[in-house]
Amino acid sequence: MAEILTKSRARNIFYGGSLFFIVIFIVLTFQSHRYIVNVSTAGMPLSDAVVLGKRVWERHSCINCHTIHGEGAYFAPELGNVTTRWGVQDDPEGAFEILDAWMKAQPSGIEGRRQMPFFEINEEEMRGLAEFFRWADQTDTQGWPPTDAG
Ligand code: HEC
């Protein structure tokens, strides 16, 4: 009886199969990068203010309590959609003012309410944070979060 899976056939299946899936992997990687830049986050340019805001967000480890698009800690509200909830998604000045007022009023000291610390953040950085939140908020998250506050 002839051998069906000869050594050379097995080798060809192995190399051919590997190559096939490596090509698919590379194509999907490019597709993801293009999609992220051109579609899912393209609603607003990645300005210097947005970049500064992201750095401020990282420096103060806001993510230790908050989530952004579901990533982070579950102690405090989701912030990926905070400018929509506050009604300032298309209003840079309004976003800055409401965020600035909120940040300066912390900790609220209200009995029975979770507390957020006070952060030393200057005006330029606060504007950056507001722009970062507006930028994050126009990301196409395909329905996330399922409820408004994450
Ligand atoms: C120690 C935990 C903690 C850290 C760190 C923290 N927060 Fe908060 N944050 C909270 C809590 C708790 C609330 C909700 C307070 C309330 O509702 O009274 C909150 C609320 C907020 C809100 C209002 C959300 C809403 O839906 O009304 C914003 C905006 C916010 N935080 C921004 C930030 C930013 C920016 C940073 C980093 C500079 C930060 N937070 C770091 C705990 C934290």
**What domain range includes position 22?**
9-40
- Do 92 and 140 lie in one domain? The reply is yes
- Do 17 and 85 lie in one domain? The reply is no
The tens digit of pLDDT for each residue in 117-131 reads 999 999 999 999 999
Pocket lining for ligand 1, CB < 6 angstroms: 60, 62, 64-66, 75-77, 79, 82, 85, 99, 102, 108, 113-117, 119, 129
What proportion of the chain, given as a percentage, has pLDDT over 70? 97
Give me the torsion for CA of 140, 141, 142, 143, rounded to 10°. Answer: -120
Beta-carbon count within 10 A of 54 CB: 18
Instruction: Name the pLDDT band for 145 (thresholds 50, 70, 90).
Output: confident
Q: Tell me whether residue 2 is in a domain.
A: no
The tens digit of pLDDT for each residue in 13-43 reads 999 999 999 999 999 999 999 998 888 887 8
What proportion of the chain, given as a percentage, has pLDDT over 90? 79
Distinct helix (H) and strand (E) counts, the chain: 5, 2
Q: Tell me whether residue 3 is in a domain.
A: no
